[in-house]
């Protein structure tokens, strides 16, 4: 009974290169067995069969080596995936300058004041000059806090910039918010993403 009749080549080839090498080696074995069963085996044929069998063993060795490398690669990949990863958050800007002014034009302050007067100034204008601001759309959040760190006013707006140096401003009216703004020290906090910048200003009578 021929043993190869009980072997399904499709199942063996399912093992990849190792299965292919096994089939080649099995075929070489059958050829060798048939040739040696003859009364006068041909040396040339035997030499070819031995060469074919050696090639089959080489294919099996390559298959075993590739499976070993694949197994190690998957193991190292699982270990690296379990290791904690630190997500580097890119800052949207490298630096920001803060100005308080009585008026702004195209988001640019016309002056830089250390205090704002309720009697002489109409607005509490704060302007920011961003350096190396990432080009794109940003959400600017503004919070104004009193000396007790209580939130008295807040605002937010989206803007899109096309240059690295950008001015943005926020100018709440002192008259419209006369019940909010009283003489004292106020802190204006600006936030873009996870980055904030605060500066204090004095409001006088």
| CATH number of 175's domain | 2.60.40.2550
Residues 115 and 143 in one domain: yes
Residues 75 and 151 in one domain: no
87 within a domain of the structure (yes/no): no
pLDDT digits (tens, 9 = 90+) for 102-154: 889 988 998 888 899 988 888 889 999 998 888 888 899 999 999 999 999 99
Residues 32 and 109 in one domain: no
pLDDT digits (tens, 9 = 90+) for 35-71: 888 888 888 888 888 888 888 888 888 888 888 888 8
Mean pLDDT (the chain) is 83
68 within a domain of the structure (yes/no): yes
Q: How far is CA 189 from CA 22, 122, 157, 165, in A?
A: 73, 21, 14, 20
The domain of 49 spans: 3-82
Residue 109 · residue 101 · CB < 8 Å: yes
Residues 77 and 108 in one domain: no
Residues 112 and 78 in one domain: no
Residues 104 and 166 in one domain: yes
Residues 61 and 102 in one domain: no
d(C-alpha 187, C-alpha 2), whole Å = 93
Residues 72 and 143 in one domain: no
Q: What is the pLDDT of residue 8?
A: 66
Tally of domains in the chain: 2
Whether the per-residue pLDDT at 10 is higher than 70: the answer is no
90 within a domain of the structure (yes/no): no
Residues 16 and 64 in one domain: yes
Q: What is the crossing angle of helices 17-36 and 43-82, to 10°? A: 160
Residues 23 and 112 in one domain: no
Residues 43 and 73 in one domain: yes
106 within a domain of the structure (yes/no): yes
Residues 50 and 149 in one domain: no
Sign for the CA dihedral angle at 138, 95, 162, 100 comes to positive
The residue out of 82, 107, 130 marking a domain boundary is 82
């Amino acid at each position: 009974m021929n043993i190869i009749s009980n072997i399904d080549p499709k199942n063996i080839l399912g093992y990849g290169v190792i299965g292919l090498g096994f089939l080649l080696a099995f075929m070489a074995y059958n050829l060798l067995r048939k040739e040696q069963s003859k009364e006068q085996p041909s040396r040339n044929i035997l030499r070819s069969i031995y060469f074919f069998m050696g090639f089959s063993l080489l294919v099996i060795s390559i298959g075993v080596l590739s499976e070993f490398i694949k197994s190690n690669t998957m193991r190292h990949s699982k270990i690296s995936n379990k290791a904690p990863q630190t997500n580097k958050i890119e800052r949207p800007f490298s630096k920001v300058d803060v100005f308080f002014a009585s008026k702004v034009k195209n988001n640019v302050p016309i002056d830089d004041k250390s205090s704002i007067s309720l009697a002489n100034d109409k607005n509490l204008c704060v302007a920011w000059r961003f350096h190396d601001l990432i080009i794109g759309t940003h959400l600017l959040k503004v919070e104004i806090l009193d000396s007790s760190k209580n939130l008295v006013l807040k605002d937010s707006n989206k803007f899109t910039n096309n240059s690295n140096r950008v001015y943005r401003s926020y100018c709440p009216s002192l008259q419209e918010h006369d019940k909010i703004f009283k003489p004292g020290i106020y802190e204006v906090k600006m936030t873009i993403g996870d980055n904030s910048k605060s500066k204090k200003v004095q409001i006088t009578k």
